[in-house]
Chain A
Amino acid sequence: MSVLLAFCSLYYELAFGQVLSVCLGGTKNQYFLTIGIFTCFLGFGSLFQKRFRNRYGLKKTFLTVELLLTILGSMGPFVITWILSSGGNLMGGFGTILAYTLIASVGFLSGFEIPCLFSMAPDNHGKVLAFDYLGMLLATVAFPFLILPHLGTGAGTLLVAGANAFVLLWIRSPDASLLEKTFTRPILVFVFASIIFFRSQINEGLSLLYLKDLM
C-alpha cells in the first residue's frame, strides 16, 4: 500500500509539473516550483494530520484523504489546463495562484499518508518508509519512460487516480458489504481498461480544453 500511495503522490506532482510547463512555459522552473510547493505542503500535511485524526479517527481521516486525493489528482491536470488557458490566463495571475493552490492541496493531503500508515502498522515504520521511497523511485522512472509516452498526461493521471481509488477500496474492504465487494473490483477493472482504450480521446480532451478559446 505504501508503494502505491507514494507512487500516486509523486506521479501527481510530476503530471502537474508537466501541465504547468505546457500552460506557462519554462519546463525546468515549473518542475522546481511544483516540487518545492508539493514538498512544503507535504510537511504541513504531516504536521496537521494529528488534529484531524484526533477529531475524526484514523480510518475515517485516511479514507477521506484518499477519496479527496483521487478526485483532486484525477481532475488536477484538466482543471489546471482549463484555468490557465482561459482568456490567456483566467483572472490574470490569480489563475496561476489557483493552479499552485491545487498542487499545495494534493501535497497537504499526501502528507497525511505516512503518519496514518505508521499508526496502522506501528511496528513496521522501517518497512513503510522503505516502500514509500521505493514507490517514489518507481514513479520517477515510470512517468517519463512508461506513462507519458504510452498514455499521455490525461489518461496517465486518470489511471494513477484509479490506483488511488484501488487503495481506497482496499482500506474499506473489511467494512464493505458483499454486494460492494462483488461489484467494485470488476468496475475498477472496467475503468482501467476504458482509460487505456480511450487514451487518445482523453488526451485530445485535454488539448481541446487548452484550445477552447479558438473553438
Chain B
Amino acid sequence: MAYSMILVGILTEYTGEEILSQCLVMGPYLLSLGLSSAFGDRILPHERLRAVWNFEWLSVIVLPLVPLALTLSIFIYTNLADTDAGLSTLSGNRVLFVISGGFAFITGLFGGAQLPLILKDLGEASEEKILSLNYLGPLLASVSIVQMNTHAFSLALQIYIIGIIQLFGLLLLLLVSNRPKKVQALTLLFIPLLLLFFTGFILPRLEHLTIKSAYLKTRTSISQLLRPTHLLNLLGRYGSVERVRTPYQTIDLFIEPPAPEYSAPGNASVYLNRKPQFDLFSVAVYHESMVFGGINLLQRKPDSVLILGAGDGLLLKELKRIEGIQKITMIELDPQMLQWSATNPVVSGLNEGSLSNLAPNVDLKIGDAITFLRSNSKKYDLVFVDFPFPDGHDLSKLYSHEFYRLLRQAIGADSVVLIDLPLYIDKKGKLSMESQVILKTMKHAGLGDPLLFGPSASFVALRGTGAKPQFEYDQFPESLKLATYLNFASPFREDEVNESEWAEIPVNSMFWPRGL
C-alpha cells in the first residue's frame, strides 16, 4: 500500500493531477491485489510457507525498484515525446497514467497473495487476529506516508524507510517460521538490502536528470537513448537545478549559464511544481505591471494592501517603492518558500531582501488564503492575488466561485483586485477555454466586469463596484520600464464570445471542478 502511495506521489508531481493520479493508480493496484490473492488461494498446502517467503522476498526486491522504473520511464518519455506532447499536456499525461497504471498493477501483484496463504496455514482460530492486523497495515501506511510528505522527506528516503520495514518483516517471518536452512535464507536478505541502497543512490540522480531534461526540453531518438552518453553529458554539463521540497510544493531554481556560441545570455528560472513562475527576463515587467497597474486603477495611494501568495517576495519589493501605504498584509501558505526566498542568493537578490528585512508596515502571516479569507472581516483598498496557475485539484480550488465569493468579502466599493491569470489565446484568436472558465467563475461569484491586460504578463483587474476598471495612461510614473508600459495594453477580446457560447462555459467549483 505504501509503495502504491509513493507511485501516486510521483505521478502527481509530474502531472499535477492529484485526483486522477490517486484513482488511476489505485484501480489497477486493487485489481492486481485481487488477482494475486486468487492466485494465492490455489497454492498447495505443503508449498504455502515457501510461497509466502518467496512472495515476500521477491516483493522486497521488486517493489523499491518500481518507483525507480517509473521515474526512468518518465525520463525516457520526456526525451522521446514531441515538444507538443510534453508532460504538462493532456496527451502527455495520458501516456504517463497508462505507464503508472502498469506499475501500480505490478505493485498489487506482489501484495495480494500472502494473506490467503497465511490465513490458510494458520487456520480459522487465528483468522480474525490476522485479518485485523492485515487491515491495520493500510492505516499505518497512509499515516506514515502523510507524515513523510508533511516533513518533506525525499523520495529515496521514503523508499529506504519502507524497504527497511519490509526487510524487518521478512526477518521476523524467518525467525518465527520453522523453515530449514535459516542461515542460508538470512544471507538472501542481503540481495534486497543491496538493491535498496542501489535504488536510494540512483533515484535522486535520475530525478535530477529528468527534471533538467524537462526544463531543457531535450529531445532524442530511441537509438540515441540506447547509447545515452551524449545526452547524459549534455545534461550533466549544461545548467544546474537546485530543488527544495516542502510539504506544499517543490521549488526548482534552474540556472542556465551564458552560451556565447548560441548567443544565449543565460537565465535563472523559478518553477513551482514544475510550472514556470518567473525568470530574469520576465520578473520586472510582471511585478511592476501588477503593482503600478493596481495603483493606477485605484487612482490613489492605497492605505491597506492584501497580498495572497507571492512567497517569492518580489511583489513586496515593488510595494516598497510606494510611499504612504499604512499596512500590507501578506498571506503565504508555505513557510519554507519564504525561508528559501529570503536566503537563496538569486531570489533574495531579486527581491532585494524584502523578506529578510521586513518593512515595519508589513504583516506577514503564514497560512492558507482560504482559511484567512473565511475569518477575515476587514476591507482592503488593493488586493493582489498571486497564485500558481491551476494545475491540479489543490490549485483549482483557488480559482473556484467559492474562493472568489470569499475574496469579495475582503473588498470595499472603491477597492481594486488584481489577479495574476495566464490568459491564453487559442488558434482562432479567442481566449482559451481555461481562461474563459475562470472569467465566468468570477462573474458567477459576483466580481463584476473584469479588465484583462498584459500581452507578456497577463492579469485580470476588478473593481469593488463591479464596474470595469480603466487605466489612466498619463498617470503612470515615468520611471517604469518600456516593456511594463507595453504590458498595460489589452489585446484580449472577451466580448467576442457570443451568448450561446458563454452559456456553455462551465463554472468552476471546489465541489464540481470543471474546465481547468
A129 proximal to B (CB < 8 A): yes
If over half of A's interface residues share one DSSP class (helix, strand or loop), that class is named, otherwise mixed; here it is helix
Q: Which residues of A contact B146 (CB under 8 A)?
A: 29, 32-33
Contact B138 A40 (CB under 8 A): yes
Question: Bound complex: CA of A25 vs CA of B369, how far in Å?
Answer: 11
Closest to B370 in A: A25
Q: Which of B128-136, B279-287, B310-318 participates in binding chain A?
A: B128-136
From B28, B136, B402, name the one whose CB has the most chain A CB atoms within 10 angstroms: B402
A186 proximal to B (CB < 8 A): no
Q: Which residues of A contact B262 (CB under 8 A)?
A: none
Q: How far is the CB of B472 from chain A (nearest CB, A)?
A: 33
* Per-residue A-contact encoding for B1-24, CB less than 8 Å = 1, 0 else: 100010011001000001110111
- Which of A22, A37, A81, A133 contacts B34, CB < 8 Å? A133
Q: Which residues of A contact B423 (CB under 8 A)?
A: none
Contact A35 B512 (CB under 8 A): no
Q: Which residues of B contact A19 (CB under 8 A)?
A: 511
Contact A32 B34 (CB under 8 A): no
Contact B23 A35 (CB under 8 A): no
Contact A137 B28 (CB under 8 A): yes
Q: Which residues of A contact B414 (CB under 8 A)?
A: none
Q: Which of B210-218, B221-229, B355-363, B393-401 participates in binding chain A?
A: B393-401
Contact A21 B393 (CB under 8 A): yes
Q: Which residues of B contact A18 (CB under 8 A)?
A: 19, 393, 511
Q: Which residues of B contact A133 (CB under 8 A)?
A: 30-31, 33-35
Q: Which residues of B contact A151 (CB under 8 A)?
A: 512
- Which of B145, B149, B392, B509 contacts A152, CB < 8 Å? B509
Closest to A6 in B: B30
Q: Which residues of B contact A25 (CB under 8 A)?
A: 368, 370, 394
Contact B134 A28 (CB under 8 A): no
Question: Bound complex: CA of A188 vs CA of B131, how far in Å?
Answer: 37
- Which of B22, B23, B141 contacts A28, CB < 8 Å? B22
Contact A40 B135 (CB under 8 A): yes
Question: Bound complex: CA of A42 vs CA of B499, how far in Å?
Answer: 50
Contact B141 A36 (CB under 8 A): yes
Q: Which residues of A contact B299 (CB under 8 A)?
A: none
- Which of A37, A43, A207, A213 contacts B510, CB < 8 Å? A207
Q: How far is the CB of A88 from chain B (nearest CB, A)?
A: 6
Closest to A34 in B: B142
B301 proximal to A (CB < 8 A): no
Closest to B30 in A: A136
* Per-residue A-contact encoding for B21-46, CB less than 8 Å = 1, 0 else: 01110111011011101100000000
- Which of B19, B20, B394 contacts A26, CB < 8 Å? B394
- Which of B8, B24, B30, B368 contacts A144, CB < 8 Å? B24
Q: Which residues of B contact A184 (CB under 8 A)?
A: none
B371 proximal to A (CB < 8 A): yes
From B28, B132, B512, name the one whose CB has the most chain A CB atoms within 10 angstroms: B512
Contact B143 A36 (CB under 8 A): yes
Contact B149 A144 (CB under 8 A): no
Give A134-168 interface residues, CB cut-off 8 Å to B.
134, 136-137, 139-141, 143-144, 148-149, 151-154
B54 proximal to A (CB < 8 A): no
A39 proximal to B (CB < 8 A): yes
Q: Interface residue tally of chain A, by bracket?
A: 35 or more
A76 proximal to B (CB < 8 A): no
Contact A27 B392 (CB under 8 A): yes
Contact B132 A144 (CB under 8 A): no
Contact B34 A132 (CB under 8 A): yes
- Which of B128, B132, B510 contacts A210, CB < 8 Å? B510
Q: Which residues of B contact A90 (CB under 8 A)?
A: none
Contact B132 A43 (CB under 8 A): yes
Q: Which residues of B contact A29 (CB under 8 A)?
A: 146, 149-150
Contact B511 A39 (CB under 8 A): no
Q: Which residues of B contact A137 (CB under 8 A)?
A: 27-28, 30-31
- Given A28-B18, A137-B31, A144-B20, check contact A44 B135 (CB 8 Å): yes
Q: Which residues of A contact B392 (CB under 8 A)?
A: 27
Q: Which residues of A contact B131 (CB under 8 A)?
A: 43, 46-47
Q: How far is the CB of A56 from chain B (nearest CB, A)?
A: 19
Q: How far is the CB of B460 from chain A (nearest CB, A)?
A: 21
Q: How far is the CB of B361 from chain A (nearest CB, A)?
A: 27
Closest to A157 in B: B511
- Which of A126, A132, A139, A214 contacts B406, CB < 8 Å? A214
Contact A32 B145 (CB under 8 A): yes
A206 proximal to B (CB < 8 A): yes
Closest to A107 in B: B135
Q: Which residues of B contact A140 (CB under 8 A)?
A: 23-24, 26-27, 30
Contact B20 A39 (CB under 8 A): no
Closest to B20 in A: A144
Contact A130 B38 (CB under 8 A): yes
B379 proximal to A (CB < 8 A): no
Q: Which residues of A contact B275 (CB under 8 A)?
A: none
- Which of B26, B132, B511 contacts A206, CB < 8 Å? B511
Closest to B27 in A: A140
Q: How far is the CB of A9 from chain B (nearest CB, A)?
A: 11
Q: Which residues of B contact A43 (CB under 8 A)?
A: 131-132, 134-136
Q: Which residues of A contact B409 (CB under 8 A)?
A: 214
- Given A28-B12, A36-B142, A214-B409, check contact A153 B394 (CB 8 Å): no
Given A27-B393, A207-B510, 20 further pairs, Cβ under 8 A: A21-B393, A21-B394, A31-B22, A32-B8, A32-B145, A33-B142, A36-B141, A36-B143, A39-B138, A43-B135, A47-B128, A126-B38, A134-B31, A137-B27, A137-B31, A141-B24, A152-B511, A154-B512, A207-B401, A214-B374
Q: What 6 pairs across the A-B complex have the smallest Cβ distances?
A: A43-B135, A36-B142, A152-B512, A140-B27, A133-B34, A40-B139
**Residue positions of A touching B, CB distance < 8 A:** 14, 17-19, 21-22, 25-29, 31-33, 35-37, 39-44, 46-47, 77, 81, 85, 88, 126, 129-130, 132-134, 136-137, 139-141, 143-144, 148-149, 151-154, 203, 206-207, 210-211, 213-214
**Residue positions of B touching A, CB distance < 8 A:** 1, 5, 8-9, 12, 18-20, 22-24, 26-28, 30-31, 33-35, 37-38, 128, 131-132, 134-136, 138-143, 145-146, 149-150, 368, 370-371, 374-375, 392-394, 397, 401-402, 405-406, 409, 509-514
A-B contact pairs, 25 of them (CB 8 A): A17-B22, A18-B19, A18-B511, A21-B393, A21-B394, A22-B511, A32-B8, A36-B138, A36-B139, A37-B142, A41-B135, A43-B135, A46-B131, A47-B132, A85-B374, A129-B37, A133-B31, A137-B27, A140-B27, A141-B24, A141-B27, A148-B513, A154-B511, A207-B510, A210-B511
